[in-house]
């Protein structure tokens, strides 16, 4: 499982020119799954994401977590995190988990974030999405389990 974490001032996702998810200050997450991912991976990354100290404290030092600042999450499914472009010029996505299995893990991931008291907005799994956000910092961190 991979989660690309981006601290943002605001973020939104649209499908067919309609906004389906939108947040203010918080984290924009791109979330991908591969073979053998399970609830243990999800638990680890939920804890890591919400406690990652990447928000500024009163001294301007990244010392606060999403929980500390009361931020929200925009979670976007992203199978291309498992793209392999090591051969040729067309990426292979063979390492990405199939959609029917990945959607269950993606829903579990988002529900576990919500169960921690986080406001979570999402895109639509498998849809053609347009994501618009302001990366604050910029701060972008890849997490993997």
Catalytic positions, written as ranges: 78-80
By the 10 Å C-beta count (0-12 exposed, 13-18 middle, 19+ buried), 5 is classed as buried
Omega of the bond leading into 138 within 30 degrees of 0 (cis): yes
Backbone dihedral angles phi then psi of residue 42, each to the nearest 5 degrees: -65, -45
Residue 58 DSSP label: T
């Amino acid at each position: 499982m991979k989660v690309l974490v981006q601290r943002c001032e605001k973020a939104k996702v649209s499908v067919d020119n309609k906004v389906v998810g939108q947040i203010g200050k918080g984290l924009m997450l791109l979330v991908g799954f591969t073979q053998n991912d399970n609830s243990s991976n999800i638990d680890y990354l939920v804890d890591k994401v919400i406690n990652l100290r990447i928000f500024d404290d009163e001294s301007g030092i990244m010392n606060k977590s999403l929980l500390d600042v009361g931020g929200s999450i925009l979670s976007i499914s992203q199978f291309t995190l498992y793209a392999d472009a090591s051969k040729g010029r067309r990426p292979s996505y063979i390492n990405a988990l199939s959609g029917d299995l990945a959607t269950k893990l993606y829903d579990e991931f988002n529900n576990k974030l919500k169960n921690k008291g986080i406001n979570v907005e999402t895109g639509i799994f498998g849809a053609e999405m347009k994501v618009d956000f302001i990366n604050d910092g910029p701060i972008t961190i890849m997490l993997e389990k």
